[in-house]
Amino acid sequence: MITVIQFSNNTFHIYNDDVSYIIKILKNNHLGQLYFGKKIRHRDDFDHLLVEKGTSLAPCVFKGDLDFSLEVLKQEYPSYGTGDYRDPAYQVVADNGSSITDLVYKSHIIKNGKDAITGLPSTYGNNVETLEITLQDDVIGLKVLLRYHVFSDIAAIVRSTAFINISTKPLRIERAMSASLDLYDSNFEMITLDGAWARERHISTRKITSGIQSVASSRGASSAMHNPFIALKRPQTTETAGEAYGFTLIYSGNFLAQVEVDAYDVTRVLMGINPFEFNWTLLAGEKFDTPEAVLVYSDSGLNKMSQNFHNLFRNNLMRGKYKQKSRPILINNWEATYFDFNEESILKIAATAKAAGIELFVLDDGWFGKRDNDSTSLGDWSVYLEKLPNGIKGLSEKINAMGLDFGLWFEPEMVNEISELYATHPDYAIATPNRKSSYGRNQYVLDFSRTEVVDCIFNKMCEIIDTANIAYIKWDMNRNITEAFSHSLTAACQKEFFHRYILGVYSLYDRLIARFPEILFESCASGGARFDAGMLYYAPQAWASDNTDAVERLHIQYGTSMLYPIVSMGSHVAAVPNHQVDRVTSLKMRADVAYFGTFGYELDLNKISAAELEQVKEQITFFKKYQDVIQLGDFYRLSQGNFYCWLVVSADKSTAILGYYKILASPNPSIKKINLVGLNSATEYSCNNKNYYGDELMNVGMILETEFTGLTQSDNFEGKYTSGTDKGDFTSQIYVFEAI
């Protein structure tokens, strides 16, 4: 694989074997965008790709040159106010109140490798090349760095921007997108991942049309309502064929992902920190970095787009001991006990879990302060000794002695009104002076934009973690920010709050990871309300949803896989009737869905029958055997709707595992057959005592278990006639294909 960034004839060509990205220095010294898409051959001159097309009324840069108008040109990092009336990539206000800028090309650097962005999550690797272009506005003294990174083996460009004040007066940034992209046409459908608590990341698809369409968050977290992701696909693109562009932000706070179709059908994509409720004062000499945006291209369907994200996140974003390792099978006590537990009941759950083959016990909410319900104790990270008389130390030692690792829940960013922390430091809670504060789950959000608040929580967490042998931490975050305000910020800087808050969250993660590098973090936010690429840099897995129902999880996990790898999706088998939707599904289906994630259990195994416990043991044995294939292989979505189907194929294509799920049964059904993908055509695979060649499985397809066709009693034969073993609603089938 090659990675190259070339500069000739005032044109940058960034490419690897899969993608090309071409930027041209225009005759006004601004940057024009020529192309992003499938790799094209390099040539010294791409001027023939430049479209200069004016209209008689469009504002033009040079007198009499009607064809050179910013209103019509495809641009790299556009501004507002000098002819382009589309939404701009940035806005910077000078001390005289003007936001007119003129960023012209000054210089560039091309180098191997890439730098981390201080204080923010960012991609890294050895197989990456960087282009940094410096633009400058000499009138207001603003320098802007546009950074581009291309990894040798991934069809993606990673971008970020930095603003530097080289004047002697303050500048105010009002908008700072990480990336802007002008595509030649608008024949696209936009995919977004939308939802709410317990129904996160459902896929929605709409045709884009003239004007602005966007998803965003202003909640202080990336949110369950919209994930920081959009894809633009051609109307005919499927999971396995056709063009698709995917965009995400490596960021966990307020974001904007916007698509604007202009009068000439150019589609402008903007991705960055949400400009709503944002600005940033840049004093003389200061620098502001945006988060990174990832721009992925696929010419072979949505699966390829997703696999590019999966590979980038697994290889060049996630860190730590579990980076490229399958994850421990855990049991979590939340749905088993909620707040009602003590040391004895926890040890009973753990002992049965250990006997079933589980590797890690996670103690969820309720172990600290006086926490018997959600109205108290957040912020007081000291052990609730009436529940756990031997402390976390004593409990974790007993759990370790059973042969299980021990994990613990924290919600570091929060405080309850009823708590010692709030009594001592009421000002640590986010609140606007002289205004009532809104409640959310009976708790307030701590002002993590203040270093002393982060220090305080860091010290409290360390006191607990230091006492015990903690292998895993579930970092929860259960409410969004209201009445945003910080005592540490001046009136002019209050709109820096949301970004400073998330920088505070990242700094606490950084400090904990530096001090406890062995701990596996799982992020969580009332389920999956902060499941984003920013979090994956610190916590390589995230609890996908509080909804543990197998049917609901099909929608959630299918949507999540649009950009997040299987190995990052927290997925557990829970009790029935399900606590979120009261649905009863089989233990088999619950596991068959949960296998395609981190896999674990969230119920009291002492409360199921002996036969079911045997089944759990078999499930764990199965999962351990195929865990590496599932969590580290290539994932493909094959179908959704009443019949969900997905597939993982090991990197060497020797093993493939197919999950097939039926939601509702239908009468007198058709034959069910699914065409596999990603196998070796010439390899012979065995599955359930039958042998198939890869080309058969991919072209003829795998004929699945026959659906039940009804009961009949007839004179023509004796007794009852039935056919089909796949009976009833909510069923699942797992097929393992192994190369012979």
Q: Where along the sequence are the contacts to ligand GLA (CB under 6 A)?
A: 334, 364-365, 409, 476, 478, 524, 526-527, 543, 546
- How far is it, in rounded angstroms, from Cα 19 to Cα 172? 36
- Report which DSSP code applies to 299: S
Smallest distance from ligand GLA to CB 441, Å: 8
| The two three-digit tokens of residue 86, written as one number | 């589309």
Nearest to 570 by CA among 607, 510, 530: 530
The CB-of-57 to ligand GLA minimum distance in angstroms stands at 55
Cβ closer to ligand GLA: 30 or 572? 572
d(CA 266, CA 19): 20
Contacts of 642 (CB under 8 A, 6+ apart): 662, 663, 664, 666
Tell me 2's DSSP state.
Answer: -
Least distance to ligand GLA, CB of residue 594, Å: 14
Owner of token pair 């002002």: 447
CB of 640 to ligand GLA, least distance (A): 25
Least distance between ligand GLA and beta carbon 199 (Å): 14
Pairing mode, if any, of strands 287-289 and 156-165? antiparallel
In this structure, which amino acid lies at residue 443? Q
Residue with Cβ nearer ligand GLA (105 or 367): 367
> 160 vs 223, which CB is nearer to ligand GLA?
223
The nearer residue to ligand GLA, 99 or 375, going by C-beta atoms, is: 375
Show which residues are catalytic. Answer: 476, 546
Return the number of the residue (378 or 508) whose C-beta is nearest ligand GLA.
378
Quick one: 30 or 479, whose CB is closer to ligand GLA? 479
CB of 461 to ligand GLA, least distance (A): 16
Q: Which residue is nearest to ligand GLA (CB)?
A: 365
Name which of 161 and 560 has its Cβ closer to ligand GLA: 560
Q: Which is nearer to ligand GLA, 248 or 478 (CB)?
A: 478
Prior bond to 667 cis, omega within 30?
Answer: no
Amino acid at 550: A
Output the CA torsion 421→427→428→433 (10° steps): 140
d(C-alpha 532, C-alpha 193), whole Å: 11
Residue 384 structure tokens: 């609730």
Phi-psi region of 311 (alpha: psi -120 to 50; beta: other; left: phi over 0): alpha
Taking the C-alpha atoms of residue 311 and residue 461, their distance in angstroms, rounded to an integer, is: 33
Report the candidate in 224, 149, 200 with the shortest Cα–Cα distance to residue 548: 200
- In whole angstroms, how close is the CB of 572 to ligand GLA at the nearest point? 9
The residue among 373 and 691 lying less far from ligand GLA, judged by its C-beta, is 373
Task: Quote the least distance from Cβ 338 to ligand GLA, whole Å.
Answer: 8
Q: Which residue, among 342, 434, 424, 333, has the nearest Cα to 383 in the 3D structure?
A: 342
Gap between the Cα atoms of 546 and 539, Å rounded = 18
> Residue 644 to residues 453, 569, 640: CA-CA distances in angstroms?
46, 17, 4
- For residues 527 and 565, which CB has a smaller minimum distance to ligand GLA in the complex? 527
Helix (H, G, I), strand (E, B) or coil at 201: strand
The bridge status of strand 600-602 relative to strand 634-639 is unpaired
Q: Residue 293: name the closest of 112, 89, 79 by CA.
A: 89
- Amino acid found at 671: I
Residue 597 CB, nearest approach to ligand GLA (Å): 14
Smallest separation, CB 599 to ligand GLA (Å): 16
* Torsion angle of the four alpha carbons 241, 242, 243, 246, in this order, in degrees rounded to the nearest 10: -40
Region for residue 728 given its phi and psi (left: phi exceeds 0; alpha: psi -120 to 50; beta: otherwise): left
Tokens standing for residue 442: 């009976």
C-alpha closest to that of 446 among 414, 418, 482, 473: 414
